[in-house]
Amino acid sequence: MQSPDSLQDTVLHAAVSIVATSGPDDVSLREVARAAGVSHQAPYHHFKDREGLFAAISEQGFTLLADSLHMAKSPTREALFVAYVTFALRHPGHFRVMFRKDICNLEHYPAALMQADRAFGALADFVARDLDETATIDEIRMTATYMWSVAHGLATLLLDGPLEKKIGEIADVDEFVMNVARLATRALH
């Protein structure tokens, strides 16, 4: 018999895998149980419902994202941009859930909301340090929002959008992301 933590991890892993391949709309607790190889009631031992499962995925995802931003190779705008997009490409099952208020309202899940705030805080703190000390809170928020929006948009286009159908095959995704990061951050100067 699996330990409770192990069962929870198994169920979460199965749910993240389903989301990564099929999207969150195909997730049901029964399908997650089948994919995890556990009884159809097992997920309910840890998650009240589908939204609770998505909250756990979001919490885990925002923790990973915040860690990725904190560990960016160098403290530059480009590095944070690349860290964000790289996180999304490496963790599509998390990324496709984390920002979907229609499937999980984080306001009802304090632990997940705390990690979401931590992730945005990592970006906002960097921007506050990066900008001139005379920058206002509005300028910091606007710059952080711009950086987040562009990185999120590129990540979404690479994961789910028709980007390659429009621009052709991307031979080196890492190089492509860095080039877009350079263009995006150049607009901030």
CA angle 42, 43, 47 (to 5 degrees): 135
CATH classification of the domain holding 142: 1.10.357.10
Which stretches in the chain have pLDDT values below 50?
1
Pair 56, 20 in one domain: no
pLDDT confidence of residue 5: 64
Pair 89, 133 in one domain: yes
Q: Where are the beta strands (DSSP E) in 70-128?
A: none
Pair 68, 39 in one domain: no
Pair 96, 165 in one domain: yes
* Spacing of C-alpha 22 from chain mean position: 16
Pair 70, 4 in one domain: no
Pair 27, 56 in one domain: no
Pair 90, 164 in one domain: yes
Pair 4, 81 in one domain: no
Could you tell me the residue range of the domain that residue 6 belongs to?
A: 1-47
Q: Could you report the per-residue pLDDT of 138-160, keeping only the tens digit for each?
A: 999 999 999 999 999 999 999 98
Pair 77, 127 in one domain: yes
Pair 79, 9 in one domain: no
pLDDT confidence of residue 157: 95
Pair 33, 69 in one domain: no
Supply the pTM of this predicted model. Answer: 0.91
pLDDT confidence of residue 1: 44
pLDDT confidence of residue 187: 82
DSSP string of 135-183? --HHHHHHHHHHHHHHHHHHHHHHHTSSHHHHH---S-HHHHHHHHHHH
Pair 4, 26 in one domain: yes
Count of domains for the chain:
2
pLDDT confidence of residue 2: 52
CATH classification of the domain holding 26: 1.10.10
CB 175 within 8 A of CB 158: no
The residue among 14, 32, 47 that closes a domain is 47
